[in-house]
Structure 1
Amino acid sequence: MYKKAYGIIKTLAPLHVGATAGEESGNLNMIFRDQFTQTGIIPGSSVRGRMKAEMRAEQGEDAANKWYGREAQTETGEAGSTTESVVKFEYASIVWIPVFCPGQPIVWVTCPRLLKRYQRIAGVKKKIPIEYTGSQTLKALNIEAKETLFFNFGFLTVDKKEDLTPWFPLGEQLSAVVVGDDEIAMIHDMALYRQSRVALDPKEKKAKGGAFFNTEALPEETILVFPIAIKESKNGNGKWQPFPDGNEGEIYLGGLESIGFGNCEVIIKGVE
């Protein structure tokens, strides 16, 4: 039997989890994406690896191995037996992603499919809002008596507004809109943070061979959710405390930490 819990991730800096070499797409280091909505995800292995590293640093190797499993090989290279992880993580998917919108200046965007996964994970009892539903805090333009948002790709008409508070994991209803499942990929790609990086030749003012590339990342204040399963045993496992001070903490996820990427706030819910 497994006890269900879930985690909420709020990015405090751009977050890149994906390709590091960029060979598959020229010089663009892309993030991992969900195969249906084409929106960014964080693999469960990335979440688990960072959580284990944090516990190892704070509580020691034995605690980390107990909750997250023992590796097949020790640090000295000696063969060892693996153990099953007590805490299991699925991938983190977007609930809301912030998008620049003139006059707002930020609108958080989602789609019914992403909300459906959040509903299953968090147990939200409300009916999923239909596309083109805006939050009560949204201040859209009034064009010909219709509330309208302007994005870089064009205008979007808000058909109605309702209280979307239950769909915000942190309890704060932001300026937001729900778009169609077939539109979220385009808006998501428009919202991504992108940065060009280059390494210069030490003798000339030019890029080294193969040392110019672009990186994309989820923007700060993106909100994601991931399911957690905690295996229960007959003897009991004790209390899982992922962070030194309880169930909330700041960690770094993904790559490019040295240039300010990856800082996230993580909140674990459903664990007493």
Structure 2
Amino acid sequence: MNIDYIYLYLLSPLHTGGTTQEGNLVGIARESHTNLPYIPSSTIRGRLRASVGREPVEKRIKQVQLFGPELKDTQDKNFLEYYEAETDKKLTQLEQGDIWVGDGSILWLPVPSFSHGVVWVSCPLLLQRWAKFNSGVTIPADYSTNLPKKSPIYLKDAIIQGSKLQTWQEQDWQKFVPQTPEASSIKRVLVLPDQHCATLIQMSLWRQVKVKLNQHKSVEDGFRYEEAIPPDTLMYFPWGTTYQANGTAKASRTSFEDILKTQENQILQIGGQESLGRGFVQYWLANTASN
């Protein structure tokens, strides 16, 4: 089975609702086994589906073919008749779309640094996850960096002594950062141990204070914090075709890629708070695939 993936470069903070709320903190979606932030596949799939559009009816047919029907599609008699006439097949609620979409994972997350401005951090766990879609890469050792070994790295909530740092050659670290204009700002990278990276990611999440004012302009019902993945984070999600056996996989893959390429500036809005400019990401198709 062919598995491709799509990169996401966050242009603004991204919030995807979590399942719990602790006190006045509204959390974001997290992986149950690592507690790391992620983007649920259903959120990505819903946004991609909406980007296809439903007008004219030809787009609606393409939307159904790629992502499967919604309940309103199977209850629309006129559409069902048109769909059957155009595709020569009946449409049911159980019809599966040709495209599957995976969860969005963090690859590199920006962390404030008093000595280097911003440093992008990752860890072996996150790099190994990404490497499953990329053959021929060697996972670096903990504390590998392209920054000078002699000087310590002063991060917002940690200090990495120069004696701990491992030299990461340019030809090696650039394999883990897409060499594209969209990711050109990622120039200072640091690989931390899994547990330290998870803690630093938690400390570096974007937190916004939200208050509700009453008619007298006084705070009503206190305040709350909302978490978000910070801008300039590099993420990715895998995708592929569900129909491999009946010969439609290649056509569906080409059709899906064509739709992605026609989106203006290849920018999507994912998650909530669109009116506040949250969740805007720039995306692009990765050039590699594994079988």
State if a TM-score over 0.5 links the two structures: yes
Match of 2:136 in 1: 125
Which residue identity does 1:4 align to in structure 2? I
Using the alignment, how far apart are the partners of 1:223 and 1:57 within structure 2?
30
* Superposed CA offset, 1:179-207 (max 9, x none): 001111211012111111112001x2322
Match of 1:143 in 2: none
**Partner SS state of residue 62, structure 1:** helix
**Partner SS state of residue 125, structure 2:** helix
**Partner SS state of residue 53, structure 2:** helix
- TM-score, normalising length: structure 2: 0.80
Which residue identity does 1:88 align to in structure 2? W
Match of 2:241 in 1: 230
Provide the aligned length of Structure 1 versus Structure 2.
Answer: 258
Match of 2:87 in 1: none
Match of 2:213 in 1: 200
- Per the alignment, do residues 16 and 91 of structure 1 end up closer, same or farther by CA in structure 2, a change over 3 Å counting? same
Aligned partners of 1:249 and 1:267 also within 8 Å: yes
Using the alignment, how far apart are the partners of 2:199 and 2:212 within structure 1?
31
* Superposed CA offset, 1:99-158 (max 9, x none): 00013100000000000001002x1412100110002xx257xxxxx4311123331134
Match of 1:265 in 2: 282
**Partner SS state of residue 97, structure 2:** coil
Match of 1:8 in 2: 7
Which residue identity does 1:153 align to in structure 2? D
Using the alignment, how far apart are the partners of 2:265 and 2:35 within structure 1?
29
Match of 1:74 among 51, 66, 72: 72
1:48 Cα deviation from its structure 2 partner: 0.6
Match of 1:24 among 21, 35, 41: 21
Using the alignment, how far apart are the partners of 1:47 and 1:105 within structure 2?
31
Moved more, 191-200 or 107-116: 191-200
1:73-152 matches, within 5 Å, as 73-74=71-72, 81-121=93-133, 123-135=134-146, 138=147, 146-152=150-156
Using the alignment, how far apart are the partners of 2:62 and 2:260 within structure 1?
12
Using the alignment, how far apart are the partners of 1:108 and 1:271 within structure 2?
23
1:161 Cα deviation from its structure 2 partner: 1.6
Q: RMSD across aligned C-alpha pairs, in angstroms? A: 2.6
- Identity among equivalent positions (%) equals 26
Which residue identity does 2:229 align to in structure 1? L
- Per the alignment, do residues 268 and 248 of structure 1 end up closer, same or farther by CA in structure 2, a change over 3 Å counting? farther
Moved more, 85-94 or 233-242: 233-242
- Per the alignment, do residues 249 and 39 of structure 1 end up closer, same or farther by CA in structure 2, a change over 3 Å counting? same
Alignment partner of 1:161 is 2:167? yes
Match of 1:189 among 186, 196, 202: 202
Using the alignment, how far apart are the partners of 1:112 and 1:93 within structure 2?
13
Match of 1:256 in 2: 273
Match of 2:30 among 30, 33, 37: 33
- TM-score, normalising length: structure 1: 0.85
1:160 Cα deviation from its structure 2 partner: 1.6
- Per the alignment, do residues 258 and 252 of structure 1 end up closer, same or farther by CA in structure 2, a change over 3 Å counting? same
- Per the alignment, do residues 113 and 182 of structure 1 end up closer, same or farther by CA in structure 2, a change over 3 Å counting? same
Gaps of 5+ in 2: 78-91
